[in-house]
Amino acid sequence: MFVPTGADWCPPAESTLLMPAVSVGNVGQLAIDLIISTLNMTKVGYFYTDCLVPMVGNNPYATNDDNAKELCTNAEVYTLPSKNLTVLQIRSPLIKKKSRCFRQALLSWIKKSVFAKVVLLSSSHAYQRDDQQLFGTPFRYLVTPALQPFVSDVIKELEWKEMETVSLYPVVNDEDKKMSVPGGGFTKHMFEDCSSQGIKMAVVLKFCSEGDNIPDAFSLLSHLNKWLHLVELPNENVTSQWKMPVSWRLLFGSGLPPALF
């Protein structure tokens, strides 16, 4: 259930919703962090749910001592009316067997808010790619039938590659195929739910491995920016326009204590 932090809030007209899947390398979540921090988005509410692992912490996007004391929770909503943009950041994993309940709550909120489109940022295990996925770009997309007519031209112009279907029984029978996003969390089921309910949704993901996934977040976001134009980049390889939040300074801990040496 969405709870506004102040007065009743509703998204701007024709607003785009960006959200991550809790997936391999947390790439989608890191990319959302960069968006919120770079665009200096305003927090307007949070999700009150028992479907996510409970979490509380300091403001991850603090800019001074005063707002550093603000608390953050496991699912919060940010907005930037000037760009008709709304962002849902998810900071903790789903509790086992509650994925469906969480997706239903999200879908209900999405319908109530009448978002123009939803974009899910995700990732998938690089080591589980099949032969056709080993070549070319590491990025893939999925688009629901409701959104397809509105984005087909721009996707064709960008030369993006759609997520391939893979064989149910490799070698034995290559005719039966299915969509698979290994390591993608609720990506596949959320996409299927949105497809069946007529919601305009796109998935943008990258194949990656666990480790230091900051470069993956930068590249995924730069890839997405070619479509949504969140910031102006001099060229597609520039990452300096994205602002890393202060919380990333301790992303891998505080380093080795000098006493060890």
Digit-coded pLDDT (tens) for 61-94: 988 888 888 889 999 999 998 899 999 999 999 9
Answer whether residue 261 is part of any domain. Answer: no
DSSP string, the chain: -EEESSS---PPTTPEEEEE---GGGHHHHHHHHHHHHHTPEEEEEE--SSB---EEE-TT--STTGGG-EEESEEEEEEGGGTEEEEEE-SPBPTT-HHHHHHHHHHHHHHHT-SEEEEEEEEEGGG--GGGSSS-SEEEEE-TTTHHHHHHHHHHHT--BPPEEEEETTTEEEEEEE--TT-TTHHHHHHHHHHTT--EEEEEEEE-SS--HHHHHHHHHHHHHHH--S--SSTT--TTSPPPGGGGGBTBS---GGG-
Mean pLDDT, the chain, integer:
89
39: confidence class by pLDDT, cuts 50, 70, 90: very high
Residue 4 lies in a domain: no
Q: Is 5 within the bounds of a domain?
A: no
**Tens of pLDDT along 213-242?**
999 999 999 999 999 999 887 665 556 688
Overall domain count for the chain: 1
CATH number, domain of 118, equals 3.40.50.10900
Is residue 258 included in any domain, yes or no? no
Q: Residue 84: which domain range?
A: 11-250
Q: What is the pLDDT of residue 175?
A: 66
Give this prediction's pTM: 0.91
In a domain? residue 259:
no
Q: Indicate whether 257 belongs to any domain.
A: no
In a domain, 124, yes or no: yes
